[in-house]
A = this chain, B = another copy of it.
């Protein structure tokens, strides 16, 4: 039986902060937990968006390829899609839209996903440049990322909302990735204006947090000295 009410997460945002960027889950394992999702590759190798079971990998060059099953990630979210229509919206920016989504969904205290298909203008995305050991911290990576913009583009945005209580494990609030209809443009969403789009959402009652307990670097790290919330808010 397919589970539509669980959001699976491998890794935490917190482990990206000090640069614990080893790939600790494969794409084939991740896809057991969903046909829809977002993530990043080992060493913060670009940005991933999974749609209908297909994992699109947006590289720092801007190129988009399909990630192989052996592709390894330090952080990813996945779930099995069963979105419910929420609204048809026009002429709204990201901040306004997020505010409306929390209000319309009445789900500020739980996890949910949003899916927006439509026409976007002034959309700005980023894709991190892969680092090799010793890995960069999240702040260093943010200084070394590619930023892409498109004025008018049709595509799909997949976002995950986490309650503020889970800031650090996830991004408190929305974490959005994008892929264009022609599958040639995408990444982690920094900003956008929605010209016109269908917004749907999917509410979760369970957050399944999987941790890379076999990774010694993760298990032995002292997180008490990391500015987790500050670093995530700056970079995400």
Q: Could you tell me which A residues sit within 8 Å of B by CB distance?
A: 12, 14, 106-111, 163-166, 168-169, 203, 205-213, 218-221, 223-224, 228
A226 to nearest B CB, angstroms?
Answer: 10
Identify which of B14, B208, B210, B212 contacts A165 (C-beta below 8 A). Answer: B14
B109 contacts A211, CB within 8 Å?
Answer: yes
CA distance in complex: A205, B218 (Å): 12
- Copies of chain A in the complex: 2
CA distance in complex: A223, B167 (Å): 13
A209 contacts B210, CB within 8 Å?
Answer: no
B209 contacts A209, CB within 8 Å?
Answer: yes
- Nearest 5 A/B pairs, CB to CB: A207-B209, A205-B213, A110-B211, A165-B168, A206-B210
Instruction: Other than A164-B223, A205-B210, give 14 A-B pairs with Cβ distance below 8 A.
Output: A12-B165, A14-B165, A107-B213, A110-B213, A110-B219, A164-B224, A165-B168, A165-B223, A166-B169, A169-B169, A205-B212, A206-B209, A206-B210, A207-B211
Closest B residue to A203 by CB, please name it: B213
A165 to nearest B CB, angstroms?
Answer: 5
CA distance in complex: A203, B214 (Å): 11
B109 contacts A219, CB within 8 Å?
Answer: yes
CA distance in complex: A93, B203 (Å): 44
Given contacts A14-B165, A218-B109, A219-B110, contact A208 B206 (CB under 8 A): yes
Identify which of B107, B203, B208, B221 contacts A208 (C-beta below 8 A). Answer: B208
Q: Which residues of B contact A164 (CB under 8 A)?
A: 223-224
CA distance in complex: A14, B165 (Å): 8
B220 contacts A211, CB within 8 Å?
Answer: no
A19 to nearest B CB, angstroms?
Answer: 15
A211 to nearest B CB, angstroms?
Answer: 5
Closest B residue to A109 by CB, please name it: B219
B206 contacts A211, CB within 8 Å?
Answer: yes
Q: Which residues of B contact A106 (CB under 8 A)?
A: 219-220
Closest B residue to A163 by CB, please name it: B223
A8 to nearest B CB, angstroms?
Answer: 9
